[in-house]
Structure 1
Amino acid sequence: MKKLKKSFLFFLLGIVVLPSFSQNNIDSLSYYSELAQKYVNESDLNKSYLFFDKYLKLAIEKEEKDKIAYCLSRKASIELNLGFYDDSEINAIEALKVINEQEKSNYLDKIKISLFNHLGILYKKQENLDKAFNLYKEAFRYAKTQSDSIILFNNISNVYKEKKEFNKALPLLKKTYEKAIKVNDSLILAMVVDNLGVVKSKINKKDGLHEMLQALEIRKKKEDPKLYTSYSHLSAYYKENGEQLKAKVYALKSLELAKELNNSSYLQNSLGLLVELGSDTYSKEYKKITDSINSVTQNNTNKFALLKYDKIEEEKRARESELKARESELKAREKELEAESKSKKLLSYQFLVVFVASSSLVGYFFYREKNKKKVVENVIQTEGRISKTVHDVIANDIYQIMVKLQGQKSSTTEILDDLDMIYHKARDISRNNYVIDDTIDFAEILQDLVSSYQNKNLTVITNHIHTINWQSVNIHKKNMVYRALKELMTNMNKYSRASLVTIAFEEKGNKVSIIYKDNGVGCTIVKRNGLVNAENRIKSVGGHIIFESAPNKGFKCKITI
């Protein structure tokens, strides 16, 4: 599992806030902060999360706002690393609200820088680049040191790189470089120089090599794990300049370092580079590591979700215990009053208790019945829609099979074939009528589509599907791309007898290219139903599609929208 690199800004956050805690607590806070920053596995993050959650409750009870802000920021950082982006955003914003309620000071400005930077990273991970850009700029309002400025300048330049606005990134990185050479930190300098070289190479392919090699040498001397980034950037540079041999050399170096670091994410990226460079021998290894990462990610997500569930249940039990204690106290008080006096005051008090309890019970049952009715109505409506679709498409076919069984007119094999046909119809009801909308991650939709065709005889590999800025592609184009890829995968499944399919995604300017390849039997291109449908869909949104194939040469298709 990848170890979290210590964030400079969050490190400053720890320094400025820790002094406000009592000396007895500093050791624990330092330990769990360090544990969360240099975690070996998700168990370390879970332990840290529980510690800061407990401390947050104590800080809230004592109304110690500096402690509240610190604990919220640590929880937000842990949630970001575990992929719980919504929870991380909520805690970071809540920390900012707490800080804004206090008087201004230098240490609060430091906390604000780190939180705005944190939110910028969070939105960048979610490909909300404009919002990330604005948050990095907001952090500049509180930056007072060269180190703060360098990190924020570098993060903003990364946003420009993601948006392919290299001409805007270049002057910013040059300014950042001027600041970095004044700071006595060679690793920060290497980071800036490497990014400068990458941006230069994107503007003019022959430029930037000198800077990337300079960063490589610095990182070698310092034995910096970010040496992997230099290898990866150099491999991509040589690939773009048509020097395949050099590109492969650096890709292999990146793979060797990824294995040495035992970093699954680095391994996946390096194997992806080698597959792009035509090294088919790495395809199975690439698929294996990709499946492993997906499995580990899901497992970690489930563990953290279970941890939060257990915490909620524990709080629920604590509230129930407290309620029972209060009930016991109330009963004791009632007995004491009864022993002292059987006056009207006691009777009134008892009547009030009964009235409140009865009202609460009546209110509870009324609310529950109201909700039950609403749920039932929703279920009835949903079942009605599903029932109509299933009846129109599936039920008639099932009835025919029943008739065959009663009359014993068909063999078991025929019956099984009929059932298989019904299964595929049911699945196609979902896939054929699926409509894309902007609320769902389009990259995940495409990944799910193509992965559904994968089996023990067929490997499907996608490259750079998550690097495309799909938010800039309108919904009509997304729907047509989805259906065109479905046509291609269906035709491949029916006719090609392929064992390997690769689908590469590339973005240039405002155009997105999708390159489909398989190693099937190939064919002489004759546009019939499937290919014609795919071509018409792409043309309908102003794109174009090119087919290439020959007998025993596989099949290739390039879609541009």
Structure 2
Amino acid sequence: MGLLLSCSNKQPKEQNKKENLLYDKAFEYREVEKFDSAFRYFNQAKDVFLSQKDTFGAGKCLVNMGIISTDKGDYFGGQEISLNAIKYFNKNDKGHYPYIHSNYNNLGIATFQLSDFNNALKFYDLAIRFSESPLDIRLYQNNKAKVYQQIKNYPEALKIYKQVQSGISKNQKEYARALTNIAKTKWLQNAKINPIPDFLKSLRIREKEADLWGLNSSYSHLSDYYMKKGSDSAVYYAKKMYVIAREVKSSGDQLEALQKLVKLSPLEESRHYFEIYQNLNDSVQTARNIAKNQFALIRYETEKNKADFLKAQEENMKKQNSIVIGYIGIGILIAFSIASYFWYRRRQKILKQEKEIEVKNTEIKYAKKVHDHVANRIYQVMDEIDNRPHMDKDEVAEKLDVIYHISRDLSYENTDTGYKPGFAKALSKMFSSYQSAEVNIAVNGNEEHIWEAVRETVKIEVFTILQELMTNMRKHSEADVVRLAFQHDNGRITVLYSDNGKGIQHFSPGNGLKNTETRIKSISGVITFDSKANQGLNVKFSFPI
């Protein structure tokens, strides 16, 4: 079991130079584990601190927000927020150190979970550098050793674990943790070594100390060892781990224990455990996705509210100026002023309605753009990362940079797609990003010559339609075979899409597919959907060149 440790829950709430009730409220919610509310209030408190020019207070809010995001499985969000927090701290002020090393530890955890092991090591080194407490230093060293263990650098991991062990005095929990980590690393390095005596010694200490998290780790290590030996003890300890994991409410450890039980148990029990595993895994993924979206929405709403407030102030100033002008007109000519006043009121009402309609249409337009050009691209990159776990980080950075430029250019109506030289190649590259060991994608007829006479604006719509179909397939259909065919005949291009997914029992297209219908109409095309439950999805659309 890979356990990364955080001391964030031990951070004290400090008295701020200037009163910030939002900050106090955030801590109240954090202490009772209402993390979504805590995140919201920390975000609002940050803006209050910045308005007071208290950068240290703003940095503390960001550290807590980053830790909450990481703890809830939003590793990219936690990484982004923690990186943003760094600039608010003074590395020459020791009063800032508790938050600096907690922030770097959170960055280490987030980057480790994202498999960026080299940067994880750098962040743990920085956490150690700014730590003054021996307990915190040993904790971060333990996390660093876990990275070396993960990348199979066992000598370096053992060196750090032994260093941690040598610094422990009377803390039995720490001693048990170091003992079991050293035993496991030695066993991973050399399978002939018997780690059981140290595993059991550590287990007895943890039982005596009532260390539930430690017991969870011991049961996992013992089950792993006996699994290799083909012993029934593997099932026994996996069951013990599952019970403890439920007691400490660790969904990740419950899933690990269930995986062991599915593999080791007799057929009927294995099916039972697999059903529990599936339900729990679905719940965990749903909760993580909700948390990611929720935290992103909180940050977006805060920024939007600030923009709306400034906009309202500007509009109020304009209205006040108009009223002054109206009063001056009334003073010059009473009769004309009365008529002007009623005309002005009516005109203001019309302008306000038109402005509201314009703002609403603009919001709808940009929401649609974000969905089509940004959200689907992000999902495509996420899917490609899942399908290629060892993707080079420079390649990931390049893809994210493309998405960044797309999102930046939305407000400028920039339609420069970048696939003028090879639209067929761009489509093939997009299709391949959805290809995986579980999903086979077959493409026929996608040749460059059929796109030569097609306008760039039409290519944009076609690319977005196909990307929406591929995203819908990956998110909802559970298909493992996808076929695409392109035909060019009589001045029209026809595209045929089919998959063998679960289909749609009562076909009612969601926002994405509704956008697809709108887009095909915008290029004078037609589209049809054919789907039944458990019989896949067939889509056909065509458009004139």
Q: TM-score, normalised by structure 1?
A: 0.56
**Alignment partner, residue 70 of structure 1:** 60
**Alignment partner, residue 163 of structure 1:** 151
**Alignment partner, residue 37 of structure 2:** 47
Deviations 1:311-363 (A, max 9, x none): 63575356435423432323323543676799xxxxxxxxxxxxxxxxxx9xx
Alpha-carbon distance between aligned partners in 1 of 2:100 and 2:50, rounded to the nearest angstrom: 20
* Alpha carbons 1:228, 1:258 under 8 Å: kept: yes
Q: 1:176 to 1:103 in 2, by over 3 A?
A: closer
Alpha-carbon distance between aligned partners in 2 of 1:6 and 1:151, rounded to the nearest angstrom: 7
Q: 1:371 to 1:219 in 2, by over 3 A?
A: same
Alpha-carbon distance between aligned partners in 1 of 2:411 and 2:225, rounded to the nearest angstrom: 65
The letter for the 1-side match of 2:268 is T
Deviations 1:170-224 (A, max 9, x none): 12211110112x2x43322222222122112223443432322222112212222
Q: 1:198 to 1:454 in 2, by over 3 A?
A: farther
* Superposed counterparts of 1:485-500, under 5 Å: none
Percent identity, please.
20
* Alpha carbons 2:26, 2:37 under 8 Å: kept: no
Does residue 88 of the first structure (1) align with residue 73 of the second (2)? no
Alpha-carbon distance between aligned partners in 2 of 1:237 and 1:46, rounded to the nearest angstrom: 39
- Aligned to 2:64, the other structure's residue is in SS state helix
**Alignment partner, residue 332 of structure 1:** 320
* Alpha carbons 1:268, 1:286 under 8 Å: kept: no
Which of residues 185, 194, 197 in structure 1 aligns to 2:183?
A: 197
Does residue 255 of the first structure (1) align with residue 309 of the second (2)? no
**Alignment partner, residue 481 of structure 2:** 427
Identify the range of structure 1 (320-329 vs 54-63) with the bigger mean alpha-carbon deviation. Answer: 320-329
The letter for the 1-side match of 2:232 is L
Alpha-carbon distance between aligned partners in 2 of 1:369 and 1:88, rounded to the nearest angstrom: 27
Which of residues 102, 110, 120 in structure 2 aligns to 1:122?
A: 110
* Superposed counterparts of 1:56-67, under 5 Å: 56-67=46-57
* Alpha carbons 1:244, 1:277 under 8 Å: kept: no
The letter for the 2-side match of 1:88 is G
Q: 1:426 to 1:371 in 2, by over 3 A?
A: farther
Q: 1:221 to 1:20 in 2, by over 3 A?
A: farther
Does residue 225 of the first structure (1) align with residue 205 of the second (2)? no
The Cα of 1:129 is off from its aligned counterpart by: 1.3
The Cα of 1:65 is off from its aligned counterpart by: 0.9
- Aligned to 2:130, the other structure's residue is in SS state coil
Deviations 1:364-392 (A, max 9, x none): 99x989727557998x9579969xx9784
**Alignment partner, residue 14 of structure 1:** 12
Which of residues 131, 136, 140 in structure 1 aligns to 2:124?
A: 136
Which of residues 121, 127, 147 in structure 1 aligns to 2:135?
A: 147
Q: 1:33 to 1:206 in 2, by over 3 A?
A: same
**Alignment partner, residue 112 of structure 1:** 100
Alpha-carbon distance between aligned partners in 2 of 1:151 and 1:248, rounded to the nearest angstrom: 31
**Alignment partner, residue 267 of structure 2:** 280
The Cα of 1:126 is off from its aligned counterpart by: 1.1
The Cα of 1:261 is off from its aligned counterpart by: 4.2
* Alpha carbons 2:40, 2:298 under 8 Å: kept: no
Deviations 1:496-550 (A, max 9, x none): xxxxxxxxxxxxxxxxxxxxxxxxxxxxxxxxxxxxxxxxxxxxxxxxxxxxxxx
**Alignment partner, residue 492 of structure 1:** none
- Aligned to 2:317, the other structure's residue is in SS state helix
Alpha-carbon distance between aligned partners in 2 of 1:296 and 1:223, rounded to the nearest angstrom: 29
Q: 1:21 to 1:14 in 2, by over 3 A?
A: farther
**Alignment partner, residue 293 of structure 1:** 280
Q: 1:280 to 1:265 in 2, by over 3 A?
A: farther
Q: 1:30 to 1:159 in 2, by over 3 A?
A: same
Which of residues 173, 176, 187 in structure 2 aligns to 1:187?
A: 173
Alpha-carbon distance between aligned partners in 1 of 2:83 and 2:286, rounded to the nearest angstrom: 28
* Alpha carbons 1:264, 1:289 under 8 Å: kept: no
The Cα of 1:120 is off from its aligned counterpart by: 0.8
Identify the range of structure 1 (317-326 vs 103-112) with the bigger mean alpha-carbon deviation. Answer: 317-326
Alpha-carbon distance between aligned partners in 1 of 2:101 and 2:6, rounded to the nearest angstrom: 12
Deviations 1:440-484 (A, max 9, x none): xxxxxxxxxxxx9999xxxxxxxxxxxxxxxxxxxxxxxxxxxxx
Does residue 32 of the first structure (1) align with residue 29 of the second (2)? yes
The Cα of 1:29 is off from its aligned counterpart by: 4.4
The letter for the 1-side match of 2:259 is G
* Alpha carbons 2:262, 2:269 under 8 Å: kept: yes
Alpha-carbon distance between aligned partners in 2 of 1:376 and 1:135, rounded to the nearest angstrom: 37
* Superposed counterparts of 1:456-535, under 5 Å: none
Instruction: List alignment gaps of at least 5 residues for structure 2.
Output: 332-357, 366-408, 429-441, 447-476, 486-499, 504-545
- Give the CA RMSD over aligned residues: 4.2
Q: TM-score, normalised by structure 2?
A: 0.58
**Alignment partner, residue 195 of structure 2:** 208
Deviations 1:102-135 (A, max 9, x none): 3622221222211111111111111111111121
The letter for the 2-side match of 1:196 is I
**Alignment partner, residue 371 of structure 1:** 413
The letter for the 2-side match of 1:137 is D
The Cα of 1:245 is off from its aligned counterpart by: 2.4
Q: 1:382 to 1:334 in 2, by over 3 A?
A: farther
Alpha-carbon distance between aligned partners in 1 of 2:412 and 2:18, rounded to the nearest angstrom: 49
Alpha-carbon distance between aligned partners in 2 of 1:296 and 1:143, rounded to the nearest angstrom: 37
The letter for the 1-side match of 2:178 is V
Identify the range of structure 1 (187-196 vs 146-155) with the bigger mean alpha-carbon deviation. Answer: 187-196
Q: 1:256 to 1:79 in 2, by over 3 A?
A: closer
Q: 1:317 to 1:131 in 2, by over 3 A?
A: closer
Q: 1:103 to 1:427 in 2, by over 3 A?
A: closer
Deviations 1:209-254 (A, max 9, x none): 23222221122122222111111101112233x2502223222222
* Alpha carbons 1:196, 1:208 under 8 Å: kept: no
The letter for the 2-side match of 1:281 is E
Alpha-carbon distance between aligned partners in 2 of 1:319 and 1:203, rounded to the nearest angstrom: 57
Alpha-carbon distance between aligned partners in 2 of 1:384 and 1:88, rounded to the nearest angstrom: 32
The letter for the 2-side match of 1:279 is P
* Alpha carbons 2:98, 2:131 under 8 Å: kept: yes
Alpha-carbon distance between aligned partners in 2 of 1:75 and 1:46, rounded to the nearest angstrom: 10
**Alignment partner, residue 501 of structure 1:** none
* Alpha carbons 1:18, 1:26 under 8 Å: kept: no
Deviations 1:241-276 (A, max 9, x none): x25022232222223333444543333222222333
Q: 1:430 to 1:162 in 2, by over 3 A?
A: farther
Alpha-carbon distance between aligned partners in 2 of 1:147 and 1:154, rounded to the nearest angstrom: 11
* Alpha carbons 1:199, 1:208 under 8 Å: kept: no
- Aligned to 2:212, the other structure's residue is in SS state coil
The letter for the 2-side match of 1:192 is A
The letter for the 1-side match of 2:245 is A
* Alpha carbons 1:20, 1:66 under 8 Å: kept: no
**Alignment partner, residue 470 of structure 1:** none
- Aligned to 1:144, the other structure's residue is in SS state coil
Alpha-carbon distance between aligned partners in 2 of 1:169 and 1:71, rounded to the nearest angstrom: 33
